[in-house]
Amino acid sequence: MSHSAPSPAPASAKPARDEPRRGSARTTRFDERFPWVSWALWPLAILTALHKIWASYESGTTDDFTTVWEAINRFWSGVPVYSEDYTTTDPHYLYLPGGTMLLSPLSALGSFEAARTLYIFGNAIAIVIALGVLSHIIYTARGWSKTWLGSLSGALWPLSIIAVFNTEAVQNNLLFANINGVLLLLATLFLYFLLREGTTSQVFSGLALGLAITIKPQFVVLLFLPFFRRQWLSLVVALLLPIACNIVGWTLMAEPQGFFDNLVPYLGEVRDFANSSIVGVGVYFGASTVTIWFWRILAAVLVLIGAFTLLPWRNSTRPGDREMWAFTTTSLLLIGVFLVSSLGQMYYSLLIVPLLFTAFLHRSTMHNPVAWLGVYLCLAIDSWYSDQWFWAGRIFETLRGTVGWMLLLISISISALIWFLNRSTPSISGGRHRKPAEENKTQAWKGE
- Mean per-residue pLDDT for 179-191? 98
Who wins on pLDDT, 35 or 76?
76
Asked if the model's pLDDT at residue 3 lies above 70, the reply is: no
CB-CB contact of 79 with 25 (8 Å): no
- Mean per-residue pLDDT for 221-226? 98
Q: Look at residue 380 and give its three-state secondary structure.
A: strand
Average pLDDT, the chain: 87
Local confidence band at 25 (pLDDT 50, 70, 90 cut-offs)? very low
Asked if the model's pLDDT at residue 21 lies above 60, the reply is: no
By percentage, how much of the chain surpasses pLDDT 70? 86
Residue 374: its pLDDT value, please? 98
**Distance separating alpha carbons of residues 43 and 55, to the nearest angstrom:** 18
Asked if the model's pLDDT at residue 4 lies above 70, the reply is: no
- Mean per-residue pLDDT for 293-319? 96
Asked if the model's pLDDT at residue 413 lies above 70, the reply is: yes
By percentage, how much of the chain surpasses pLDDT 90? 69
Q: Tell me which of 71-75, 88-92, 169-173, 263-267 is least confident.
A: 88-92
How is 309-355 classified by DSSP, letter by letter?
A: HSGGGTT--STTHHHHHHHHHHHHHHHHHHHHSS---GGGGGGGHHH
Local confidence band at 64 (pLDDT 50, 70, 90 cut-offs)? confident
CB-CB contact of 401 with 350 (8 Å): no
Nearest to 332 by CA among 368, 363, 302, 377: 302
Residue 357 is which amino acid?
F
pLDDT tens readout for residues 343-380: 999 999 999 999 999 999 999 999 999 999 999 999 99
Who wins on pLDDT, 19 or 261?
261
pLDDT tens readout for residues 241-271: 999 999 999 999 999 999 999 888 888 888 8
- Mean per-residue pLDDT for 2-10? 47
pLDDT tens readout for residues 121-155: 999 999 999 999 999 999 999 988 888 888 888 99
**Distance separating alpha carbons of residues 257 and 260, to the nearest angstrom:** 6
Asked if the model's pLDDT at residue 194 lies above 80, the reply is: yes
Who wins on pLDDT, 108 or 30?
108
Residue 130: its pLDDT value, please? 98
Asked if the model's pLDDT at residue 435 lies above 90, the reply is: no
Residue 426: its pLDDT value, please? 38
Asked if the model's pLDDT at residue 447 lies above 80, the reply is: no
Residue 102: its pLDDT value, please? 96
Local confidence band at 205 (pLDDT 50, 70, 90 cut-offs)? very high
**Distance separating alpha carbons of residues 351 and 56, to the nearest angstrom:** 19
Residue 251: its pLDDT value, please? 96
Asked if the model's pLDDT at residue 12 lies above 80, the reply is: no
